[in-house]
Chain A
Amino acid sequence: MIHLRACPGPRPGVKFLVDVVDETGETIAIATILTMVRKLDQK
């Protein structure tokens, strides 16, 4: 696992949908990536 203990402050998860399209607009790959994003409020 990512070493959360080293992270100062709360970091909620944000899932991004990655929709890769070609020149016709058709989806050629699709994935959901999992990220941790710093909050404005660091309390």
Chain B
Amino acid sequence: MQLENYIAGTWVKGSGKQTELTDASTGELIATTSSGGLDFGAMLNYARETGGPTLRKMTFPERGRMLKALAMYLMDRKEEFYQISYRTGATKADSWVDIEGGIGNVFANASLRKQLGNMPFYVDGPPVLTSKGGSFMGHHIMVPKEGVAVHINAFNFPIWGMLEKCAVNWMAGMPAVVKPATVTSYLTEAMVKAIVASGILPEGAIQLIVGSAGDLLDHVESQDVVTFTGSATTGRMLKAHKQIIAESVPFNMEADSLNSIVLGPDATPDTEEFSLFIKEVGKEMTLKCGQRCTGARRIMVPENLVEDVQIALGKRLGGTVIGDPRAEGVRMGALAGQTQRNEVRDNLAELMKGSELVYGDPNSVDVTGADSEKGAFMSPILLLNKDPWKNQQCHNIEAFGPVSTLMPYTDIEEAVALTKLGKGSLCASIATYDDKAAQQFVWGAASHHGRMLVINRDMAKENTGHGSPLATLVHGGPGRAGGGEEMGGKRGVLHYLQRTAIQGSPTTITALTQQYQQGAKQNITPKHTFRMHFEELNIGDTVITDKHLVTLDDINNFADLSGDKFYAHMDENALDGTVFTGRVAHGYFILSRAAGLFVDPPKGPVLLNYGIEEARFTKPVYPGSTIQVKFTVKEKVDQEKKVLTEDSPKGADVASGIVKFLVDVVDETGETVAIATILTMVRKLDQE
């Protein structure tokens, strides 16, 4: 079988010399592949000209719904991918991370549609009020880049590595070209075939290269984004590519790093944290056969506990059944191939110049259901470096397999310093039940790490683990780890958008952002906005309410009703040293009375008020003041109609959208005394 590239809507077999791809456990030939004869320049243009325009026209909610549909489609077919994944040497647990973790990333990005607004672009942060008179202001919008996201991925996660990036660029409105590592590209190809067959993505949203990247980077342009996951050596070479530099192409690099896991000084063998630490290290060394860029390569323990840890880890690793991942009971499979095993052995030889072997045999391993030489199997290897300041190989060399180095430290300060010898890592963990120690470690070492985990008994049951990046948290790290950052929920999407400062009058900025800006022209509607459906409301539609004279009785009555008898409201003799010149009305009363002014009571399209954002009491209100509300449509967020189930709550069958109203409460001088944004759900005219 020959793998196929997916280019410009067509599956194409590469010409010329073929690379043979083999089963990691048996050595059997699976397929051949090549990207010879492909026109990479045309491929990138196709993405820019066909996929990009369609994706950019879609709103964030539309892109999110597309991703959700895709994730559901792929999840229904996950078993197909598990069967292929075994051939990469991955166990069921390893594959779960790759397959369901990858699809989970698509789901997580789909959910971001609720955070990114209702437009094809994103309005970034609060407005910047730049003029005293209020006629001139600034803001920021972020629009999709008009290029293509080129993803060059590693061999260890053929599916997750693609989806954790593509989900993000699709959500941002950019198409992708994916170039997986060749050795496991047959699994990526299977997933891309399913994605294309689904018909869910617009034409040109994804293309695939199964083989060499050739001159791909010669064709990137300034609106493109390139991401790379893999070895630091290759990453640095690509980052310095002349076209990347000439066109100022954003290059996000996520490289393997020498991540640390630390046993806290309090975590003695009789504590839960000690057991959790041993379990975590054991998992780190054996999951995915240690082929994870986040893998814990350096194990730091208090100097008086080195022997205890060595014994406990040896016991744990000794119980790991290694072999063909399809065989019953196997917990650790094979490395991705013979080439990878040879590289691990070479790097291990370098590491052993400064460390002694305390567990495992680099050249021999007992396996279940397979031949240990035909398959790329390897025993977990634990090294001990007694003097990690003198013998620095472990801080510089990574064996990308089931290999870790144990080393002593004297106190947290030294542990922090040792982690920094790695010159930047994707992650670090500490097992401790002492939050002071956790503070000292995290605050001390965070500058050199992209993610940090504190393991203890309180979070153990739900701990996602040292090596697992989460879709909603950033992934990446400084220095050796590549200096990049990806994922992180909304933060990740922003990497594919161009941030542009916009300046103008509040009315113009309202038109540009489709969010009402204070000071912009208001449209006083003849009909109360509570009588209008979602589709009928426009940004800037405003109701000016009746007025209310605030009295001392209001304050007394609200105090009785709410129970809030704070001295500033009730005791005029207690106001020395405060900002108040008399008994002041409760801020909550002002907002409550404002609701009494802006609400139009009879049943209508407004279904409910589910919250308040950014409420501020900006000026004290005393008895004798008169308040009035300017009630303005600030922002609209579309929502899809929910699919009803037996468990759906009452009213779930009503199609509605979110409308944010600005509540500007002013006094008799016209000055704002309180301001808030209320969140409502408003029925749609269209109930289909």
| Interface set of A (CB-CB < 8 Å, partner B) | 1-4, 6-9, 31, 38
Residues of A near B578 (CB, < 8 A) are 7
Residues of A near B617 (CB, < 8 A) are 2
A19–B579 CA distance with the chains assembled, in angstroms: 28
Instruction: Please determine whether B577 and A2 come into contact, CB atoms closer than 8 angstroms.
Output: no
A7–B581 CA distance with the chains assembled, in angstroms: 11
Instruction: Please determine whether B618 and A7 come into contact, CB atoms closer than 8 angstroms.
Output: no
Q: Which residue of B has the minimal Cβ distance to A1? A: B618
A40–B37 CA distance with the chains assembled, in angstroms: 76
Residues of A near B579 (CB, < 8 A) are 2-4, 6-7
Residues of A near B619 (CB, < 8 A) are 1-2
A3–B620 CA distance with the chains assembled, in angstroms: 9
Shortest A8–chain B CB gap in Å is: 6
A7–B305 CA distance with the chains assembled, in angstroms: 56
4 closest A-B pairs by beta carbon, nearest first, are A6-B579, A3-B579, A7-B579, A2-B579
For this complex, 18 residue pairs linking A to B, each with C-beta atoms less than 8 Å apart, are: A1-B618, A1-B619, A2-B579, A2-B617, A2-B618, A2-B619, A2-B620, A3-B579, A3-B620, A4-B579, A6-B579, A7-B577, A7-B578, A7-B579, A8-B577, A9-B577, A31-B612, A38-B577
A2–B616 CA distance with the chains assembled, in angstroms: 10
| Interface set of B (CB-CB < 8 Å, partner A) | 577-579, 612, 617-620
Q: Which residue of A has the minimal Cβ distance to B618? A: A1
Q: Which residue of B has the minimal Cβ distance to A3? A: B579
Residues of B near A9 (CB, < 8 A) are 577
Residue with the greatest number of chain A CB neighbours at <10 A, chosen from B577, B579, B618, B619: B579
Shortest B432–chain A CB gap in Å is: 26
Shortest B412–chain A CB gap in Å is: 29
A2–B618 CA distance with the chains assembled, in angstroms: 6
Q: Which residue of B has the minimal Cβ distance to A5? A: B579
Residues of A near B612 (CB, < 8 A) are 31
Residues of B near A38 (CB, < 8 A) are 577
A1–B612 CA distance with the chains assembled, in angstroms: 19
Residues of B near A31 (CB, < 8 A) are 612
Shortest B78–chain A CB gap in Å is: 34
Shortest B671–chain A CB gap in Å is: 11
Shortest B611–chain A CB gap in Å is: 9
Q: Which residue of B has the minimal Cβ distance to A36? A: B579
Residues of B near A7 (CB, < 8 A) are 577-579
A15–B657 CA distance with the chains assembled, in angstroms: 31
Q: Which residue of B has the minimal Cβ distance to A11? A: B579
Shortest B199–chain A CB gap in Å is: 42
A8–B578 CA distance with the chains assembled, in angstroms: 8
A2–B673 CA distance with the chains assembled, in angstroms: 10
Q: Which residue of B has the minimal Cβ distance to A7? A: B579
A2–B579 CA distance with the chains assembled, in angstroms: 7
Shortest B433–chain A CB gap in Å is: 24
A31–B620 CA distance with the chains assembled, in angstroms: 21
Residue with the greatest number of chain A CB neighbours at <10 A, chosen from B578, B612, B619, B620: B578
Q: Which residue of A has the minimal Cβ distance to B577? A: A8
A3–B618 CA distance with the chains assembled, in angstroms: 9
Shortest B126–chain A CB gap in Å is: 16
Q: Which residue of A has the minimal Cβ distance to B616? A: A34
A6–B579 CA distance with the chains assembled, in angstroms: 5
A31–B615 CA distance with the chains assembled, in angstroms: 10
Q: Which residue of B has the minimal Cβ distance to A4? A: B579
Q: Which residue of B has the minimal Cβ distance to A6? A: B579
Residues of A near B577 (CB, < 8 A) are 7-9, 38
Residues of B near A1 (CB, < 8 A) are 618-619
Shortest A4–chain B CB gap in Å is: 7
Residues of B near A2 (CB, < 8 A) are 579, 617-620
Shortest B678–chain A CB gap in Å is: 13
A2–B621 CA distance with the chains assembled, in angstroms: 11
A6–B578 CA distance with the chains assembled, in angstroms: 7
A4–B579 CA distance with the chains assembled, in angstroms: 7
Residues of A near B620 (CB, < 8 A) are 2-3
Shortest A27–chain B CB gap in Å is: 13
Residues of B near A8 (CB, < 8 A) are 577
A29–B202 CA distance with the chains assembled, in angstroms: 41
A3–B617 CA distance with the chains assembled, in angstroms: 11
